[in-house]
Structure 1
Amino acid sequence: MLYQTITITLLLSIGIFPSPEIKESTTTEIISIDPISTIYEGLQGNSDELPSKEVFMMAAQGWSKMKDKLKTKVLTVIDFSLPSTAKRMWIIDPVSGVILLNSVVSHGRNSGDLMANNFSNIPESFKSSLGFYKTAETYSGKHGYSLRLDGLEKGFNDQARNRAIVIHGADYAREEFAESVGRLGRSLGCPALPSELSAKAIDLIKDGSLLFIFGKDENYINKSSLIKA
């Protein structure tokens, strides 16, 4: 009974479904529970590793603030503080606490080699951009089935559509490529996925979900209002 009450109150606190009648005394017993930490601790799925708690907490803070403006509650987390050989992208259903997909993902060619260290919002920089994005419409282009992204953070990624920063598949983003050269190939700034997984990933997150790209950049960490509690 207590477990059921904790689950209900957790879901209420992040606004997943309308409030049922819950006795005040029961709610008071668990008022100190951190819903975002609880979601993280309960993550499960076919994933070799979880995102770091620090990065997940940032992503979940933004998701919590933006969720009412989203068409779907799925949250995608990309951690560019990890090497490109790592499975550093997670597609997560925060409602059920399930990791839907975990994959390698490429960064921009001018952001770095194995590690992404430099980020930009400037057109033709060929660098990755940090921050929160809202997924938009799909289309068929140079790289086949692709997904447009709209950057939500001015100065950090709001030029994404102008820069044609999209999610697409690429053979250079496959693990076999990394095994042969020691790193993934690099894009012109797009988060490129293995060609065999890109369509599945796009269909999971298209049309109005939230995507968060993290990197070790003090300017972004200090100035972004979405990652702070």
Structure 2
Amino acid sequence: MSFKSPFPDVEIPNLSVYEFLFGQLDPADAERPALVDGASGAVTTYQALVTQIDGVAGALAARGLAVGEVVALHSPNVPAFAAVFHGILRAGGVATTINALYTAEDIAKQLTDSHAKFLFTVSPLLPQARAAAATVGIPTEHVIVLDGADGHPSLRDLLTEAHPAPEVSFDPATHLAVLPYSSGTTGRPKGVMLTHRNLVANVCQINPRMGIGADDKLLAVLPFFHIY
């Protein structure tokens, strides 16, 4: 038996995640806070976030990332996570988010299974990230440490290069945006293939029901690596 939702049908635009979220940013909203770092109180405005996203996308493209290739993001909840995550998608790449508590062996398994070409991490997690990258053959220059570490490019390095975001073309309905991994409760963790349309549709579904306004603030408690 079929059941129809009591809510109106949802229109899903045929846009990439970047185009949908940031493509029509109102100038009046450009200086509004997008992210606030709970530890330091540092504010990232929407304009700054978009600039960082474009900078990450340009730096990845300049380093040879091709449309459809996978980039791993191994980090706790920090503001830079958003810039890197959306920068990967902006470049036409696929973000595979890695549990911040994973061991080197766990990380290596996901890097291998996802065929990741780059790995973003943070300095407290670098020992296991670096060991995993070495195991699977990701070169040192492709291991990017957000807050900086000797021998590795940092997020600041990528942004100061000021490479323009690449012009990319793909079908949002079929092009993968993210590849998060399941918890593995019925076997080994498996990559969950989500397209740009999947994510855009999810935002369109929840937006009318959550009742969130422009002046509301949300606590980012749930782990970003688990697709939140």
TM-score normalised per structure 1:
0.25
Name whichever structure is richer in helix by fraction: 2
Name whichever structure is richer in strand by fraction: 1
